[in-house]
Amino acid sequence: MKIIIAGAGAMGSRFGLMLHQAKNDVILVDGWQEHIDNIKRDGLKANFNGEEVAENIAIYHQDEVSNVDFSADLVILFTKAMQLDGMLKSIKNMIGENTKVLCLLNGIGHEDVIKKYVPLSSILLGNTMWTAGLEGPGRAKLFGNGSIDLQNLGTDGKSAAEEIITVLNEAKLNAKYSDNILSSIYKKACVNGTMNGLCTILDSNMADFGETNVADNIVESIVSEFAAVAKRENATLNVDEVLAQIKTCYNRETIGLHHPSMYQDLMINNRLTEIDFINGAIVRKGKEYGISTPYCSFLTELVHAKEQILGAK
């Protein structure tokens, strides 16, 4: 299959590498010049479950891709949320009427951006439990296992997604069809919408935050705002299940000592965050539906203040 990985950071590198190893015709499109230069020179390097690999995959800067002759069967979007619109603008000439576009970004409401460029029937919305990291430009760190749930937003349902699911599974990416992707997207967004912003603002790991005597109240308040919006979008969210899942993040024996990805982005790498597409999306949708969202609103503003204080880019 001819596949464009649009956004070849940590996750795009994982998917690009695994799909290329499974003999698909893959190209990477990205906007980070140093990353692109290193991959062009040395291949995409990775520590892949402890093994050093260097995969020779074509990569283009998104500003130079409009002339590239590559009619994609599938585009997999893996920018950060705030880069999505710009990336779609850059690659729009490579999206034909038979191209499917799969979005696996974290956050809520990306379909509203994507449908400016492609019809709803070409969009697959998904949620992934794969993880990935970058050790530097051109070099990824890929450990562990994961899975993908995805749903076709068009009316032809599962049948239009079958070929893509097969290709993803041939690359061992563990994909399956979901009839209710919005529910799993909201569920994951609740974990990100609490742990990410709170640990970033409090400069804390998840266990230290979880052991404070106000953690339950703050987390329950945020999750109830997500649940109220989810309900209006016909996404079922089991609040008790979500709260139990968030509590597993506090466990010091497993992941509690980790700082979430937003903390890494802002506090370690001085990068802008995806807060507008997690808690900020709840604030926007809350306004639309007449739902009050004070906790999400305050947290979004605090994270923006922190970005500005630190001069994040």
The catalytically annotated residue of 188, 285, 287, 306 is 188
Q: Let me know if 115 is a catalytic residue.
A: no
Question: Going by DSSP bridges, is the β-strand pair 25-30/44-48 parallel, antiparallel, or unpaired?
Answer: unpaired
- Tell me which of 19, 39, 81, 201 binds ligand NAD, using CB under 6 A: 81
What are the beta bridge partners of residue 182?
A: none
CB of 184 to ligand NAD, least distance (A): 12
| 12 in contact with ligand NAD (CB under 6 A) | yes
Q: Does 154 bind ligand NAD (CB under 6 A)?
A: no
The interface mask with ligand NAD, positions 171-210, x = CB under 6 A, is ----------------------------------------
Span interacting with ligand NAD, options 75-83, 211-219, 238-246, 301-309, rule CB under 6 A: 75-83
Question: Are residues 193 and 238 in contact, defined by beta-carbon separation less than 8 angstroms?
Answer: no
Chosen residue from 1, 7, 39, 74 binding ligand NAD by CB under 6 A: 7
Q: Are strands 2-6 and 25-30 parallel, antiparallel or unpaired?
A: parallel
35 lines the binding site for ligand NAD (CB under 6 A):
yes
Task: Tell the residue number behind the tokens 């009619």, with chain if given.
Answer: 71
- When binding is defined by CB under 6 A, the residue of 10, 173, 185, 201 that contacts ligand NAD is 10
The smaller minimum CB distance to ligand NAD, of residues 54 and 82, is found at 82
Q: Which of residues 123-152 bind ligand NAD (CB under 6 A)?
A: 128, 131-132, 134
* Residue whose entry in the numeric block shows the structure tokens 């061992």: 172
Position 260 contacts ligand NAD (CB under 6 A): no
- Of 39 and 229, nearer to ligand NAD (C-beta) is 39
Residue 154: CB atoms within 10 Å = 15
Residues lying near ligand NAD in the complex (CB under 6 A): 7-12, 30-32, 35, 78-81, 105-106, 128, 131-132, 134, 261, 269, 274
Positions annotated as catalytic residues are 188
